[in-house]
A and B are shown apart, each in its own frame.
Chain A
């Protein structure tokens, strides 16, 4: 009887947040144990959107499997594709033309900005401010337009393929990216005025969801969420891929360990991405956009691991190859899954209203967690 009512034997209330809930931004299901408004336990239940991409990939060829990964973390689809392309290139020792590398970094960084823009709006919406969502979408829209022109899609984009790019960039690409940078720079102050400086917002974020550096490492938290705790973990700096080692940008670190620190990391990271784009946009080298590869890719027998920095953290692609045209086993180490595991630790003892602030700053994308 007691269990039926969702009341634990200690008299605590159990409530289901999700799978249909406005704050989970997808089909995440959390079972909360509450004492009044105070959270005693958070128990994630996953699988509502689990498509078993790892199993699917076992029957897809090395040319096909990267398309599925766009559906994983759909907000950083280019970066996912890039990881897949890199691991195949590493295994087959394909030399990618310089032009393709530069364009890959450009679209990756544009994706990162778009993802952070969406996160920013959704984050503010979780805290009850609707307006920033629309303002964020205005800028994100122009990135989507650029992507639509170049790769034909707006959300689940597939542009980066093993060996280079699917096709060359649209002739207007540079012009439109420059226009976007201009637009973005004029709007970022507006963002900070509207949300970052707001006293209610700061009170909601500061001191909420404390995650110490040791815990962040132990829980495997990566990306902006860990960098808000002062853990240096930017794959672009630590294990550079593409041409990131030749670029001038900073790894953004904050030491607040709370939601506000994680928020500031993402805001500042957008500026770093803009810096990277500015360095590259006028210096795209001429040449091929694709290396000459065989029609059928066959990876040598062995194991290959590649990590990249998506907008949410470290994405690892682990391929076990038996020498055929399809992977024997593939594992995606998705940042969202690890970041979610820290939620219970962060949320215990805080109020129900803080949970949305924590989930927001972990930037959970459910298909990324479920895969």
Chain B
């Protein structure tokens, strides 16, 4: 029921979003350019009020990358998942660190692990990897390190 309600509310705001079927939570598939305006609406619209970005990550599908955002509302206790498909060769997306401050450090992690370029991010530098690892993205599927990686 909750999923249906949310679906109606979000469709009213964004008629173009595509919903995925058969998932644990309501899942939205959108284009990178739509993300920032949608995020602002999700956060600020009183009926939705997704104020808690609980998980921000990326999945490498070899052909493309997918950003996955898990959003919660501490007011209504509902959850949605937003998925944004990115180009594998030149992954770029607007930062949401202005909306949810926790995104700043999570986006830095995704930046170094997957090489996703977050536009307008205040401080996009390596945080976990040592200097000299710019451009090498360890969590991508095609990453190889013959010395340190042991295949079972």
Seen from chain A, the residues whose Cβ lies within 8 Å of a Cβ on chain B are 44-47, 50, 52, 54-55, 59-60, 215, 217-222, 231-233, 238, 302-305, 307, 314, 316, 318, 320, 328-329, 331, 333, 337-338, 340-342, 345, 370
Contacts and interface: CB of A to CB of B under 8 A. Distances in A.
A8 to B, nearest CB: 16
B23 interface: yes
B138 A52 contact: yes
B24 A341 contact: no
**Leading 5 A-B pairs by shortest Cβ distance:** A220-B102, A47-B128, A341-B105, A333-B55, A331-B57
A217 B139 contact: no
A28 to B, nearest CB: 12
Contact of B105 (A50, A218, A328, A337): A337
Interface stretch (B1-9, B28-36, B46-54, B87-95): B46-54
- How big is chain B's contact interface, by range? 20 to 34
B138 A55 contact: yes
A46 B25 CA distance: 32
Most B CB within 10 A of own CB, among A220, A338, A341: A220
A220 B53 contact: yes
A305 to B, nearest CB: 6
Interface string B105-117: 1100100000000
A50 B128 contact: yes
A238 to B, nearest CB: 6
Given A220-B52, A307-B54, A329-B59, A55 B105 contact: no
A328 B58 CA distance: 12
Contacts of B151: 59
Contacts of A304: 24
Given A50-B128, A318-B55, A329-B60, A218 B77 contact: no
Interface string B58-94: 0110000000101000100100010000000000000
Contact of A217 (B23, B70, B74, B77): B74
Interface in B108-152: 109, 127-130, 138-139, 151-152
B54 A46 contact: no
Given A55-B138, A303-B23, A345-B101, A218 B51 contact: yes
A55 B105 CA distance: 19
Contacts of B105: 44, 337-338, 340-341
Given A232-B74, A238-B77, A331 B23 contact: no
Contacts of B102: 218-221, 338, 341
A54 B110 CA distance: 12
Given A217-B51, A341-B105, A47 B152 contact: no
A55 B149 CA distance: 10
A-side binding surface: helix, strand, loop or mixed? mixed
Most A CB within 10 A of own CB, among B55, B74, B104, B127: B55
A302 B59 CA distance: 13
Nearest to A337: B105
B19 interface: no
Contact of B101 (A219, A238, A331): A219
A341 B101 contact: yes
A314 to B, nearest CB: 7
A302 B127 contact: no
7 contacts: A217-B52, A217-B74, A220-B100, A220-B101, A307-B54, A318-B68, A333-B54
A47 B129 contact: yes
Given A47-B127, A59-B152, A333-B55, A218 B138 contact: no
Contacts of A221: 102
B98 to A, nearest CB: 10
A221 B53 CA distance: 10
A331 B74 CA distance: 22
B125 to A, nearest CB: 10
Contacts of A316: 54-55, 70
A231 B54 CA distance: 14
B100 A218 contact: yes
A215 B101 contact: yes
Nearest to A233: B74
A331 B56 CA distance: 9
A47 B68 CA distance: 23
Contacts of B24: 303-305
A260 to B, nearest CB: 23
B139 A55 contact: yes
Contact of B23 (A46, A302, A329): A302
A316 to B, nearest CB: 5
B43 to A, nearest CB: 10
A307 B72 CA distance: 12
Contacts of A52: 138-139
Contacts of A345: 101
